[in-house]
Amino acid sequence: MVPASALADESAAAYQFRLVEYNFPLIWGLAIQMYESTLVADDSRVDQFLEGNSSALTAREQLGKSIFEGKGKCIACHDGAETTGASVNNVVNAQELLERMIMGNDGIAVYDNGFYNSGNTPCAGLQADDTQGPCDDLGLGATIGPLNLPLSNSRFFQRSENIAQAPPIAVRPDESPLLADPQPLDPFERVAVDGAFKTPGLRNIELTAPYFHNGGILTLRQVVDFYNRGGDFARVNQNNLDPNIVPLGLTAAEKDALVAFLMAFTDERVRYEKAPFDHPSLCVSNGAMLDNHTAVADPTAPGKATPVTKCVPPVGRLGLAVPDKNFLNTPPVPTSVNVQPALSVQPGGLTFSTSVGIQPPVQLLQISNQGGGSLAWSATDTRSWLSLDITSGVAPSSPVVLVNAIGLAPGSYTGTITITAPGVTGSPVNVSVTLTVVALKPGFPLVP
């Protein structure tokens, strides 16, 4: 605590700093940099899966991975180990600071690698006549400072004093023949950066709601819904829109699988604040004890209000017993991740209909593992007229259900198929089977 007498000292000497005080910001900044360099969240279940642990991801999460890399188009922007095109490895090491691509309106433009307009907020951007269209937030397309210098590298290097230092732009013949020939940056060519924002990394994305640059989406499922419908302002933003922002046609099950895969990017050490993500207590000033009318006087500093301090409690290397809740407590943060096998059998009931002496069409059961690891199953049935083509296996499996109606009189019959996986969550599963046999109508004799 600084004594009140020191605060009242207005002499010239009071405004002098020792060398160590001048250097403190540098030393403090280097200390924080070195500490943060140890905070590498590289032990998510996705990492474990990619390192060879085939049981680290559930069947649903593996389906989500396939959608992420294919139908969902996510990997086009969220690529590499950093899960973002705006990474040191991609931009600096690969020397792809600038790129050309075919835009949402089929025109060619240069853009900053890793920064995209996804149609999250309306931004028409720079028009053909060099006028600026209506835009909620220019993002990377904005300029700063008294010289109005562009935030975008593309526009920065287009300036006459910088064009000679413009980095090369790689060809992309696999994307379009129009991008097959090497061409340097032209100072007057089209640039697509208005309304563009940095592609974030996806590690621990489950824990960092709300999403997008404006915090406009609360849950990961809402994020997936946004991309599935092709953004919210695709038509308005066509001039700068990323070409991958199109309706995706994902089913509800595919969207659920994609969300499950995104949640598998969580490093449990981060969730529970275990080493190296443990930390000491940190207290910061949060204003003073006052309202619009009164203030609580600080007894240690006459004439000043009592300060309010907020403290983050310390966490040791073993971490928290229960993780902190997420933004607005939504979405819920689980206290553990289920990587044990979990049995699922669909559908829960089967119905067959046939006439006397005629075999009804076969039907399929879908046996899957909604957890982790391996799931071995076996099946039994309760009726002589009911059977499966296979009675044991390892999920996922699709056994054929057969009904033998030969010799059965007209009527309604019921039976049960039981799928068992010892010691597995959800086991056993009973599937009800109903068979209705009707008499042949006169004039329709049974044909052998």
Show Cβ contacts of residue 75 under 8 Å, excluding neighbours closer than 6 positions.
68, 69
pLDDT at 335: 42
Is residue 446 scored above 50 in pLDDT?
no
pLDDT at 339: 57
Which of 134, 272, 117 minimizes the C-alpha distance to 195? 117
pLDDT tens by residue, 3-52:
666 666 677 776 777 888 889 999 999 999 999 999 999 999 999 999 99
pLDDT tens by residue, 344-372:
888 888 888 888 878 788 788 888 887 77
Cα separation, 271 vs 281, whole angstroms? 17
pLDDT tens by residue, 102-150:
887 778 999 999 999 999 999 987 777 777 788 999 999 999 999 999 9
Which of 77, 112, 96 minimizes the C-alpha distance to 191? 112
The torsion angles phi and psi of 65, rounded to 5 degrees, stand at -60, -45
Average pLDDT, the chain: 87
Question: What class, spelled out in words, does domain 45-263 have in CATH?
Answer: mainly alpha
Residue boundaries of the structural domains of the chain: 45-263, 274-290+300-319, 343-438
Q: What is the CATH number of domain 343-438?
A: 2.60.40.10
pLDDT tens by residue, 65-92:
999 999 999 999 999 999 999 988 888 7
For residue 391, which amino acid is it?
Answer: T
Stretch 165-181: mean pLDDT:
90
